[in-house]
């Protein structure tokens, strides 16, 4: 991978394989969904970049046992797509409006310069 945008598009494509709708635009969020948030560049060298990309797996409301079972059922595939081994439960509030139960993880991506 050689570009920041291409790296995010590749992550989005990998997450699409989970069977959960994926968006990179919180304004288009509908639950259940996976949201790929803006990356943090944690390392930049002449050889490329390392990005940490927050990924949110959100279930529909309410935050009950059914939502938890949905999240736990989908989480292993999301972790695999992100090549991540950790995740934390939380609440996702797009635009500060409604609260959706979620799990958050981070995908670490290395991009090499051309």
**Structurally, what CATH architecture does the domain formed by 4-112 represent?**
2-Layer Sandwich (3.30)
| 66 pLDDT higher than 90 | yes
DSSP H helical ranges for the chain:
4-16, 65-82
pLDDT digits (tens, 9 = 90+) for 69-113: 999 999 999 999 999 999 999 999 987 878 999 999 999 999 886
What's the average model confidence in pLDDT over 32-56?
A: 93
Q: What's the confidence (pLDDT) of residue 95?
A: 79
Instruction: Identify the DSSP state of 61.
Output: S
Domain spans of the chain, in order of start: 4-112
Stated pTM of the model: 0.91
């Amino acid at each position: 991978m050689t570009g920041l945008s291409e790296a995010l598009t590749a992550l989005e494509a990998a997450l699409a394989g989970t069977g959960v709708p994926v968006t990179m635009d919180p304004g288009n969020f509908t639950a259940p969904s996976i949201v790929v948030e803006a990356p943090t560049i944690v390392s930049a060298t002449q050889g490329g970049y390392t990005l940490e990309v927050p990924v949110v797996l959100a279930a529909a409301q309410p935050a009950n046992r059914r939502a938890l079972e949905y999240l736990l059922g989908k989480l292993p595939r999301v972790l695999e797509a992100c090549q991540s081994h950790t995740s934390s439960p939380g609440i996702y509030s797009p635009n500060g409006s409604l609260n959706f139960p979620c799990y958050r993880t981070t995908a670490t991506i290395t991009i090499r310069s051309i």
